Every structure is written in structure tokens, then in C-alpha cells.
């Protein structure tokens, strides 16, 4: 059955979860929706880097790959991207227990529980599909666990530039707890 699934997905031109390139459709989407072009990208990164380096109280990475995430999130508006970056580090400072104290064993339990996983193929728009199963209260991970898992995945580059270009899609399973009135 799995072989048939892969055959169907390939004949319908669905992209695999893991990509090593941007498709022409993704490049066009970056231009249309994010205002990202070769002419805009380099100067915007340099402007954002300059703002970060001149901000005394902000210590963060300044490599291109890191900064471009904030530029894409704010459609290459450098001032808005810088504000977003500052806000991220203010939240990180206000909630160090979420960002600094990672309990690896606890995260392994959450990951191995199968609470979330990704489909092997992207949807018709090229978005990676991540499934989060809602479960009973006793099995539900704490919100900070999910944030930490996302951070670890991002650090390991499993959340790729393709996913940063495309909107992420969340599919919720029908395992809603019965006791909370839904």
C-alpha cells in the first residue's frame, strides 16, 4: 500500500517533504508574496545586519540564513524585521525556562509518543504538512515542550528554507478530548 501511495503522489506532482532546491513556483511565490528578489535580498540582509550590530543590548547570530528568516516574515521590510528580531529576544529573555533549559529526555518522550509528525509529501501549494494529534490531558505535552522541539528541529535545519517560504499547514486529527466540552 505504501508503494501505491508514493506512486500516486509522484504522478500528481506532489513534492517530497525533503527538498534540495527551490522550485520555480517557490521562487515566483517569494517574488510575488514576499517581495524577495536577487536585487532586494542582499541590501536588505546588509541593512538588517547593520542594525543588529549597532544595537548594544542585542546579541544574536548575524549570518545571512538567520537574518533572512526575519526579513521573509516581514516581507523584506527591514525596520519591521528588526522589530521582530528584537521582540524575539525580549521574549527569550522574559521566559528563559522555555528557551534555555531544554530537558532532552523529556523532549525525547514527547517525540517518541508520536504526538506530531510530518507527511512524506507536501501539499499542492508546496507546504510541508505537520500533523499534531490532540490527545487526552494526561498525554498532552506542555506548550513549552512543543516550542523546544520546534527550536531543536530548526537548529538542525529540518525546517528548511522551503518551509520558510511556504506557509506551514497544521492538520488537526479528530482525537479531541471528550471531557472539555468540544
pLDDT score for 169: 42
CA dihedral 78, 81, 86, 89 (to 10 degrees): -140
Task: Please compute the mean of the pLDDT values over residues 144-163 and round it to a whole number.
Answer: 52
Beta strands in the chain (DSSP E): 116-118, 129-132, 169-172
Note whether 85 and 62 are within 8 A (CB).
no
Q: Is it the case that residue 174 has pLDDT exceeding 90?
A: no
Residue 171: pLDDT band with limits 50, 70, 90: very low
CB count within 10 Å of CB 29 equals: 18
Q: Is it the case that residue 156 has pLDDT exceeding 60?
A: no
Kindly list the distances between the CA atom of residue 152 and the CA atoms of 40, 149, 158, 178, in Å, as whole numbers in the listed order: 30, 5, 9, 32
Question: Residue 48, SS3?
Answer: helix
C-alpha span between 43 and 39 (Å, rounded): 8
Amino acid at each position: 500500500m505504501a508503494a501505491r501511495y508514493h506512486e500516486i503522489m509522484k504522478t500528481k506532482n506532489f513534492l517530497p517533504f525533503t527538498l534540495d532546491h527551490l522550485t520555480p513556483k517557490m521562487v515566483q511565490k517569494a517574488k510575488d508574496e514576499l517581495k524577495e528578489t536577487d536585487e532586494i535580498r542582499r541590501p536588505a540582509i546588509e541593512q538588517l545586519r547593520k542594525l543588529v550590530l549597532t544595537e548594544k543590548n542585542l546579541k544574536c547570530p548575524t549570518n545571512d540564513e538567520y537574518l533572512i528568516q526575519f526579513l521573509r516574515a516581514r516581507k523584506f521590510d527591514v525596520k519591521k524585521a528588526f522589530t521582530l528580531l528584537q521582540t524575539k529576544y525580549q521574549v527569550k529573555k522574559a521566559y528563559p525556562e522555555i528557551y534555555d533549559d531544554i530537558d532532552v529526555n523529556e523532549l525525547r518522550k514527547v517525540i517518541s509518543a508520536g504526538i506530531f509528525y510530518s507527511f512524506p509529501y507536501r501539499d499542492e501549494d508546496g507546504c510541508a504538512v505537520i500533523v499534531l494529534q490532540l490527545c487526552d490531558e494526561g498525554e498532552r505535552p506542555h506548550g513549552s515542550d512543543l516550542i523546544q522541539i520546534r527550536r531543536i528541529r530548526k537548529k538542525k535545519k529540518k525546517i528548511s528554507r522551503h518551509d520558510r517560504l511556504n506557509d506551514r499547514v497544521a492538520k488537526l486529527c479528530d482525537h479531541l478530548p471528550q471531557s472539555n466540552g468540544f
